[in-house]
Amino acid sequence: MEIYRNTIDELGRWFEKKDRKPILLQGARQIGKTWVMRAFGKRYFQNVVEINFDMQDEVGEIFKRTKDPHKIVSELQLYTEEKIEAHKTLLIFDEIQANENALNSLKYFAELMPELHIIAAGSLLGVAVKHKKMTVPVGKVEILKMYPVTFEEFYHTTENKHWQWLNNNNAIENLPVAVKQTLTERYRQYLVCGGMPKAIVSMLEGNYDNIEQEINNIITLYEADFSKYATSTEVIRIGQIWRSLPSQLAKENKKFVYKVVKTGARAREYEDALLWLQDAGLITMVYNVSKPGMPLSAYKDLSAFKVYAMDCGVLRCLSRLPAEALMSRADKYIEMKGAITENFVLQSILPILENEPCYWASEGKAEIDYVAQIGTGVYPIEVKASKNLSGQSLKSYSDKYNPDLLIRLADTDLSLTDKLLSLPLPLAYKFKEYVKEAGKQKG
């Protein structure tokens, strides 16, 4: 079964642009970037020419000799049986971090050969650019961020008819029983396998043992990458932070604490390691805000933040939490289940927000898991993994700021009561649409 990827649709819109520039695809390793580029090329072009700079050192020499894109294409033609033609060929530059000259050449392709479609991508591209002091031709490339397979893509792949129904219906009312059942079933499966394509394939094949193997193999690969573009001291600290994620997120207060990483650890010693993981796309840092003002970025407290993994399946395996613990509805292992649920919600809302979400805390008395900015509105989002739907934190937030709308994601149906919008957890990816619909109903 082929996994549906929204990124191909985004690339399709890029394909249609008249003022198109080369596109730089960014994202963590093993999330399917190369597959997406190939699938896009197969769908939209007569042929695809793929250059891998990590495997083809000799091709990289071309970019040392000339910056002229016409000469580059002429020489690349010698390494492929496919003809490279504008409007007919997709030219893929994979592992572009291995060749700085190739990265810089994107500027000249944009200026002198804009009719040729080029997509570039690379493993650890963000880390390599910073540590090798490489220059990205800003303004001459479009940057497209790619994430692990989202729950929406997973649901679209496995339950297309029900996904279509949800896609065409934004009414805030009880969901049809059939839709609720498939949402619940697929949501539990997704918490286990996460968004790594190989793990999803194993899930759809019903091979649970292979899910663990695939995700643990990916974790091993990530940890092997820690030594790239980092000093020996940084490698140790990167690993310590990475392995501390389950402990950080299992706490009642999920704020990142350096002493959990290592007794006596200080912020200045671990800042570079945190940034390495962030640049590699392996973590997302969610900052506290002093108040939910506009814009949210103006109220960030850069000293207080939570750190989530880039994928809930990866976090589960890092935590050594058995799949059975998430497939059950019983309130067991609630601390880690809560952390994985929050991670799931973050994965669902990151791709649809223009700005990364924050969180809000009130002197240890109340905490809102996420605060998201949509246009000129700021919305609190409470995430509930357990059956206990007590909303004391939302009440404290509401009493203090009197927002137009409160959002609760939980094991519940779809409803709007006064100003509380309740959504089933699997529908986190649609929360922006339901916020707009709630505005219409309240307006």
CB 361 within 8 A of CB 288: yes
Written as one string, the DSSP assignment of 73-126 is HHHHGGG-SS---TTTEEEEEESGGG-HHHHHHHHHHHHH-TTSEEEEE-TTHH
Strands 406-410 and 377-383: parallel
Q: Which two tokens stand for residue 293?
A: 């003002």
Its domain, for residue 294, covers 151-442
- Same-domain pairing of 27 and 158: no
What value does the mean pLDDT take over residues 239-257?
95
Dump pLDDT digits (tens) for 280-319. 999 999 999 999 999 999 999 999 999 999 999 999 999 9
The least confident of 5-14, 36-45, 337-346, 385-394 is: 385-394
* pLDDT of 330: 63
How many alpha carbons lie under 13 Å from residue 78 in its C-beta half-sphere?
A: 7
- CA angle 340/341/344 to nearest 5° reads 85
Dump pLDDT digits (tens) for 195-210. 999 999 999 999 988 9
Dump pLDDT digits (tens) for 352-391. 999 999 999 987 678 999 999 999 999 999 999 877 777 7
Please give the model's pTM, rounded to 2 decimal places. 0.95
- Same-domain pairing of 198 and 140: no
- Same-domain pairing of 132 and 206: no
- Same-domain pairing of 188 and 138: no
- Same-domain pairing of 55 and 163: no
* pLDDT of 317: 97
CB 121 within 8 A of CB 142: no
Q: Is residue 385 part of a domain?
A: yes
* pLDDT of 325: 86
- What whole-number distance in Å separates Cα of residue 215 and Cα of residue 317? 7
- Same-domain pairing of 374 and 411: yes
* pLDDT of 339: 95
CB 114 within 8 A of CB 141: no
Dump pLDDT digits (tens) for 89-99. 999 999 999 99
Which pLDDT band, with edges at 50, 70 and 90, does 135 fall under? confident
CB 407 within 8 A of CB 292: no
What size, in residues, is the chain? 443
What value does the mean pLDDT take over residues 18-24?
94
Give me the CATH number covering residue 118.
3.40.50.300
Q: Check residue 373 and report its DSSP letter.
A: E
What value does the mean pLDDT take over residues 13-35?
95
Dump pLDDT digits (tens) for 255-280. 999 999 999 999 999 999 999 999 99
- What whole-number distance in Å separates Cα of residue 411 and Cα of residue 403? 23
How many alpha carbons lie under 13 Å from residue 309 in its C-beta half-sphere?
A: 31
Dump pLDDT digits (tens) for 51-107. 999 999 899 999 999 999 999 999 999 999 999 999 999 999 999 999 999 999 999
- Same-domain pairing of 181 and 94: no
Please state the domain count of the chain.
Answer: 2
Which pLDDT band, with edges at 50, 70 and 90, does 132 fall under? confident
Q: Is residue 80 part of a domain?
A: yes
Q: Is residue 1 part of a domain?
A: no
Asked which of 107, 128, 145 is the last residue of a domain, the reply is 145
- Same-domain pairing of 332 and 423: yes
Strands 420-424 and 415-417: antiparallel
Name the strand (E) or helix (H) holding 382.
strand 377-383
Asked which of 121, 145, 169 is the last residue of a domain, the reply is 145
pLDDT at residue 351 tops 90: yes
Amino acid 429 reads: Y
* pLDDT of 303: 93
- What whole-number distance in Å separates Cα of residue 265 and Cα of residue 344? 29
* pLDDT of 331: 66
